[in-house]
Amino acid sequence: MTAILEMQGITKTFPGVRALSDVNLSVREGEIHAICGENGAGKSTLMKVLSGVYPHGSYEGEILYDGKPARFRDIRDSEHAGIVIIHQELALVPLLSVAENLFLGNEVASGGVINWPLAYQKTEALLRKVGLTEAPTTKVEKLGVGKQQLVEIAKALAKNVRLLILDEPTAALQENDSQKLLDLMLELKDQGVTQIIISHKLNEIRRVADRVTVIRDGSTVSTLDRSEITEDRIIRDMVGRDMAHRYPDRTPRIGEVLMEVRNWSVMHPDQPRQVIRDVSMTVRKGEIVGIAGLMGSGRTEFAMSLFGRSYGRDIRGEVTLAGARPDLSTVSRAIDAGLAYVTEDRKVLGLILDEPILRNISLANLEGIAKGAVLSRGREQQVAERYRKAMNIRTPSVFQRVVNLSGGNQQKVVLSKWLFTDPKVLILDEPTRGIDVGAKFEIYNIMNDLAGQGHGVVMISSEMPELLGMCDRIYVMNEGRIAGELTRDQASQERIMALILQDGMKGEAA
Amino acid sequence: MSTADANKPAAATGIGAHLGSHLRENGMMLALVAIVLFFFVIVRAVQGVDFLSAQNITNLFLQNSYVIIMALGMLLVIVAGHIDLSVGSVAAFTGAVASMLLVKMQLPMLVVVPMVLVVGGLIGAAQGYWIAYWRIPSFIVTLAGMLVFRGLTLWLLGGQNIGPFEKSFQSLSTGFIPDLFGPDKPNFTALILVAVAAAAIVWAGIRGRAREAEFGIAPEPSGFFWARNAVVVIALLFVGWKLASFRGLPNVLLIMSVLIVLYAFFTESTTTGRRIYALGGNEKAAKLSGIKTERLVFFTFVNMGVLASLAGMIVTARLNSATPKAGVGFELDVIAAVFIGGASMAGGSGRIIGVVVGALIMGVMNNGMSIMGIGIDYQQVIKGLVLLAAVIFDVYNKTKQG
C-alpha cells in the first residue's frame, strides 16, 4: 500500500512554546490510523497543521499528499484536496436543517439559486450512507449528539472526502452511539476512505485502527502495527513510564462521622418527576467516599441539590454536618457550613476563564482576603502563591489568565478556590475528566492529602477503575436511588455493575 | 484534547508584560492628550482661538459631566453583562419630575434632589426587577423603558418647557465653588483643592507601590510610574490653574470627581465590586461560588437609575428648564464612552478610569469640532469612526495576546 499522506519533520512553535518538534506521520491509503497522546501532547496541533488551520509557512517541515508536496493556505484549500477534519466540538448550525448543514458553503446551486429538490435528493443519499433515516428538512438541534456526529460525517462525504480526520469523535457519545460510529468508520474504510482518528479510548483504537502513532510532548514516539497494539504498550509510550502505580498509596485514617445525609429527595426543576429518591449516606473524617453510577443516575443532581439547592425543587431530607444541622438553603450558606462542590464542567461552571488565577482562587471566599468590604490585593496574591506552591500549579505567574492553562492546571485552580473556603466536606464531581494521566496522578495525591488532613472527600466518577483505586467506600447510584454500598475490599467493577443491573430490574418490577 | 491550551504563549514578564497589560489604559490617556493638543494647535491656527482657554475648559466639564456620571453606572451594568438603553429617557423624565416639584409645587431644592434620586432608583428597580429575577433580556426591558419614559416625559410636561428655576438648583450645574479667600483672581480655593487632589493621587500611587513591594508583587517600572504621574499632575495643575483664573471650580466638577473616586474604589477594591466582575465573567460559576447574582444585577440597575436621575437634574439645571427633548441620544454617548473606555460587550471587564478617559475623548472631540465649525453631519461620522477604531484596537490587542 502506498502512503496517501506523509508528514515529515513537522515543527510548530508558538511564542514561548514548542508545540511540535520534528513529528513524522505516515498514513497509508485506505487505512484507519489512530493518533494517541496525552492532553497537550500536540495531536490537535498536528491536525491543524495538516488541515491548513496553521497555513504553510507557519510551521517547518514538509507535507506530502499523494506523493506531492502540499502547501495548504487554509481549510478550504485542504478540503479541496479531499482532507476533511471533524472537530471535537461539532460545527453544525443547530437551527438549520440537515440538508442546509450538509451543503453549507457548498450549496447545490446554479447562479446563487439553490436547487432544493436536488439538494434534498443528494442529502437523502448521503444520510443513507451514514445510516440515518431522518428527513433532510429535520433541524439539526432535534438530533441527538450521536446523530449529529453522523451528519458531520455525511457533510464530509458531501465534500468528496479522501482523508477523513476525526478528533475524539466518541468523547461525547453514549456507548451504543459510539459503536455505531465505529461501525461506520469500518464501512467507510471498505469504501476506500482513509481515516485518522484521535482518541483516548484504547478499546476503540484496538477495534478500528490498523496502525497507531503515539505522540508525547510534541514528538513522535512510535508507530505500532495492528499486532503490536496493546493497552500497556500504548500507555507506556504515551506516558513514558510504567503505569503499575496509577493511584498513589495511602493509609487511611478514618475518624468519626463528619456528614450524614438522610432520606434526601429532589424533584426535577420543571418536570413532575422525582430525580433523587431517599438517598442516605455518611462521610467520615479522613475518608474518601465514591459515588458510582451510569450517566443520568442522579449523582450530579444529588450533589448540586445538596450544595445550596443549586438543582431541583421540593428538596426534602436531613443533613448533619460536624454534629450540627447546617442551613444549606443557598450556596453561600452551604459554603459557610463547610461544604464545597467542585463542578463536573470546570470551564462552564467552575472558572472565570478570562480572569487571572488569583482572582479565581479568591472568588468563593472574598471575605478571606478583605477587611470589611475592602479587598486586600496583596493578601489575595499571597493566598494565590500559597496554593500555587501547594498544588503545583504550573504557570509563570498567578496573574496568568486561567484560559491559558492546561486542563489539569485549571482543575488545580478550581480545587484551590474551594480549599480556600476551608471546607469540611469536599464533593468532587468527575475531578479528573479531560485531564492527562500525569495531572490525574497529582489530583489523586491532592485528594489523599485532603483526606489525610481530616477532610471528608466525596468523589463522583464515571471511571470505575479510578473509584476502585481511590475510595474507601463506594455508594452505587441508579435512577436517583442508592443501589448499594461497597467497602474497599468488597468493591469491584463487576459488583458495581451487578448492583446497577439488579436495581434497574427492581425499578422495572416496581 | 487541548493542545490549544499548551500552545498559548507563556506570559512574558517584566516591562514588556507590564506595557502589554496596561497598553490600553496608557494608550487611551496618550490618545486623549494627543487629541487635546491636536485641537489646541488646529483651533489656534484656523480660528485663532485658545482651545485651552479657561472658559473653554470650564465649558468642557459643564458639557460632559452628565455623560461621565451616567457612564460610571453604565460601566457596572455592562460589566455585569447587560445594557441600559433607557438612561436618556430616564434623565429627561427625572429632570421633568424635578421641574414639576420645584416650579409647580414650589418645594425647596434640598427636598427635591433626594426625592428625584429616589425616583431614579425606583425606575432602575422597576427595570432591574424584570432583568434580574425574570431574566428578560436587558436590551428589551430598557428599550421598552426608553419609550415609556420618553412618553411619560412628554405627558408630564404637556409638551411644554418648564422653568426657570431658583438659583440654588441652577447652581447644581452652573454654580462654582466660592473662593474662601475673597473674590481676587486667581481663585485660591480652587488652586488648593486641585493641588490637594494632585498630591493625593501621587500619594495613593506611592502607597500602592509600597504595599505591592511588601507583598512581593512586581511593581510598575519606577521610571514609568513617575512619568505617568508627572503627566497626570501637570495636566491637573494646568487645568486647575486655568479654572482658578476664570470662575473657580464648577460644582459639577466636584460632584463628578467625588463620584469617580468612589466608583473607582468600589469597582476595584470592594467585595461587591469584585463580584459584579465575576458575575459578568461567568454567571454560572459565580453563582456556584456563592455569589447572589440576581441581587447584584438588580443593584446595578437601581444604581444606574439613581445616576441617570442625578444627570437628569444636572442637565435640567444647566438648560434652566425641563424640556421634552432633553436627553435624546444620551444613552448612545454614554454607552460609546464605556466601550471606548475598554469595557467588553460580553461583560466582566472594564475600568472606571478607562470610562472617564473614554467620555473625555468623546467630549473633547465634540467641543473641538464644534469650535472649528465642523457640521453635525461630519461630527457624527468622526465620532462613530473613533468608537469603531477604539474597539478594533481592543480586539486586535486581545487576539495578539492570544
Q: Does B271 touch chain A (CB under 8 A)?
A: yes
B12 part of a folded domain: no
pLDDT at B6: 37
Place of cell 425574570: B134
Cβ distance of A331 and B288 shorter than 8 Å: yes
pLDDT at B21: 56
Q: How far is CA A188 from CA A32, A78, A166, A195, A312, in A?
A: 10, 20, 13, 9, 44
Using alpha carbons, select from A59, A74, A10 the residue that is nearest to residue A213.
A10
Query: Mind telling me how many Å the CA of A135 is from chain B's nearest CA?
Result: 33
Q: CATH code for A1-82+162-243?
A: 3.40.50.300
Cα–Cα distance between B60 and B49 in angstroms, integer?
Answer: 15
On the 0-12 / 13-18 / 19+ scale of CB atoms within 10 A, B197 is middle
Using alpha carbons, select from A468, A465, A475, A410 the residue that is nearest to residue A443.
A410
Query: Mind telling me how many Å the CA of B125 is from chain A's nearest CA?
Result: 23
CB pairs under 8 A between A and B: 151
Using alpha carbons, select from B330, B363, B310 the residue that is nearest to residue B169.
B310
Nearest C-alpha in B relative to A38: B1
Nearest to B3 among A16, A45, A332 (CB): A45
Nearest to B270 among A310, A373, A385 (CB): A373
Q: How far is CA A293 from CA A149, A345, A460, A487, A494, in A?
A: 25, 18, 9, 16, 13
What ipTM, to 2 d.p.? Answer: 0.85
Asked whether the beta carbons of B275 and B296 are under 8 A apart, the reply is yes
Task: Identify the bridge partners of residue A214 per DSSP, sorted by sequence position.
Answer: A36, A222
B199 part of a folded domain: no
Using alpha carbons, select from A102, A93, A90, A109 the residue that is nearest to residue A172.
A90
Place of cell 507601590: B209
Nearest C-alpha in A relative to B21: A399
On the 0-12 / 13-18 / 19+ scale of CB atoms within 10 A, A59 is buried
Query: Mind telling me how many Å the CA of A40 is from chain B's nearest CA?
Result: 4
Cβ distance of B1 and A335 shorter than 8 Å: no
DSSP string, B24-82: HHHHHHHHHHHHHHHHHHHHHHHT---TT-HHHHHHHHHHHHHHHHHHHHHHHHHHTT-
On the 0-12 / 13-18 / 19+ scale of CB atoms within 10 A, A111 is exposed
Cβ distance of A397 and B287 shorter than 8 Å: no
When pLDDT is cut at 50, 70 and 90, the band that residue A8 belongs to is very high
Asked whether the beta carbons of A369 and A380 are under 8 A apart, the reply is yes
Which chain A residues are closer than 8 Å to B277 by Cβ? 355
Mean pLDDT of the A329-335 span = 95
Q: Residues 344-383, chain B: which have Cβ within 8 Å of A?
A: 348-349
Q: Does B275 touch chain A (CB under 8 A)?
A: yes
Cβ distance of A40 and B6 shorter than 8 Å: yes
Using alpha carbons, select from B264, B205, B290, B288 the residue that is nearest to residue A368.
B290
Cβ distance of B285 and A352 shorter than 8 Å: yes
Cβ distance of B290 and A404 shorter than 8 Å: no
DSSP string, A172-200: T--HHHHHHHHHHHHHHHHTT-EEEEE-S
B contact test, residue of A196, A214, A354 with most B CBs within 10 A = A354
User: Where in the sequence is the domain holding B79, given as residue range(s)?
Assistant: 23-41+49-175+250-401
Provide the grid cell at A199.
482518541
Q: Does B400 touch chain A (CB under 8 A)?
A: no
Nearest to A406 among B2, B13, B214 (CB): B2
B184 part of a folded domain: no
pLDDT at B218: 66
Cβ distance of A363 and B286 shorter than 8 Å: yes
Task: Identify the bridge partners of residue A7 per DSSP, sorted by sequence position.
Answer: A25, A63
Q: What is the tens place of the pLDDT at every residue in A370-415?
A: 999 999 888 999 999 999 999 999 888 898 889 888 888 999 999 9
Which chain A residues are closer than 8 Å to B291 by Cβ? 331-332, 363
Query: Mind telling me how many Å the CA of B25 is from chain A's nearest CA?
Result: 18
Domain CATH for B260? 1.10.3470
Q: What is the tens place of the pLDDT at every residue in A406-443?
A: 888 999 999 999 999 999 999 999 998 877 777 888 89
Cα–Cα distance between B79 and B300 in angstroms, integer?
Answer: 10
Cα–Cα distance between A451 and A466 in angstroms, integer?
Answer: 16
Nearest to A45 among B7, B21, B292 (CB): B7
When pLDDT is cut at 50, 70 and 90, the band that residue A451 belongs to is very high
Query: Mind telling me how many Å the CA of B341 is from chain A's nearest CA?
Result: 18
SS3 content of chain A, % helix, strand, coil (to 5): 35, 25, 35
DSSP string, A265-321: EEE-SSSSSEEEEEEEEEEETT-EEEEE--TTSSHHHHHHHHTTT-S-EEEEEEEEE
DSSP A404: G
Query: Mind telling me how many Å the CA of A199 is from chain B's nearest CA?
Result: 9
Q: What is the tens place of the pLDDT at every residue in A62-78?
A: 999 998 999 999 888 89
Cα–Cα distance between A255 and A345 in angstroms, integer?
Answer: 31
Residues of chain B under the 70 pLDDT cut? 1-24, 215-219, 400-402
Query: Mind telling me how many Å the CA of A272 is from chain B's nearest CA?
Result: 22
Task: Identify the bridge partners of residue A260 per DSSP, sorted by sequence position.
Answer: A282, A320
What is the domain count for chain B? 1
Query: Mind telling me how many Å the CA of B108 is from chain A's nearest CA?
Result: 36
Q: What is the tens place of the pLDDT at every residue in A471-505?
A: 999 999 988 999 999 999 998 888 888 888 788 77
pLDDT at B1: 35
Nearest to A19 among B6, B10, B348 (CB): B6
pTM: predicted TM-score of the whole model, two decimal places: 0.79
Which chain A residues are closer than 8 Å to B214 by Cβ? 378
Nearest C-alpha in B relative to A395: B10
Q: What is the tens place of the pLDDT at every residue in A269-328?
A: 888 889 999 999 999 999 999 999 877 789 999 999 999 999 999 999 999 999 899 999
CATH class for the domain made up of A257-509 = alpha beta
pLDDT at A199: 82
Strands A370-371 vs A374-375: parallel, antiparallel or unpaired: antiparallel
Which chain A residues are closer than 8 Å to B395 by Cβ? none
pLDDT at A443: 92
On the 0-12 / 13-18 / 19+ scale of CB atoms within 10 A, B296 is buried
Query: A54 pLDDT exceeds 70?
Result: yes
Asked whether the beta carbons of A17 and B4 are under 8 A apart, the reply is no
Nearest C-alpha in B relative to A374: B270
Provide the grid cell at A491.
468493591
Nearest C-alpha in B relative to A420: B289
When pLDDT is cut at 50, 70 and 90, the band that residue A507 belongs to is low
Q: Is A308 left (phi over 0), alpha (psi -120 to 50) or beta?
A: left
Nearest to A366 among B10, B13, B274 (CB): B274
Query: Mind telling me how many Å the CA of B22 is from chain A's nearest CA?
Result: 13
DSSP string, A32-87: EEEEE--TTSSHHHHHHHHHTSS-TTSSEEEEEETTEE---SSHHHHHHTTEEEE-
When pLDDT is cut at 50, 70 and 90, the band that residue A175 belongs to is confident
pLDDT at B11: 38
Average pLDDT in chain A: 88
Residue ranges, comma separated, of all CATH 3.40.50.300 domains in chain A are 1-82+162-243, 257-509
Nearest to B269 among A349, A364, A374 (CB): A374
Q: How far is CA B216 from CA A13, B18, B203, in A?
A: 32, 15, 20
Asked whether the beta carbons of A479 and A295 are under 8 A apart, the reply is no
Which chain A residues are closer than 8 Å to B6 by Cβ? 17, 19, 40, 42, 406
Helices (H), ranges, B215-250: 222-244
B118 part of a folded domain: yes
Using alpha carbons, select from A111, A154, A156, A105 the residue that is nearest to residue A134.
A154
Place of cell 443528494: A122
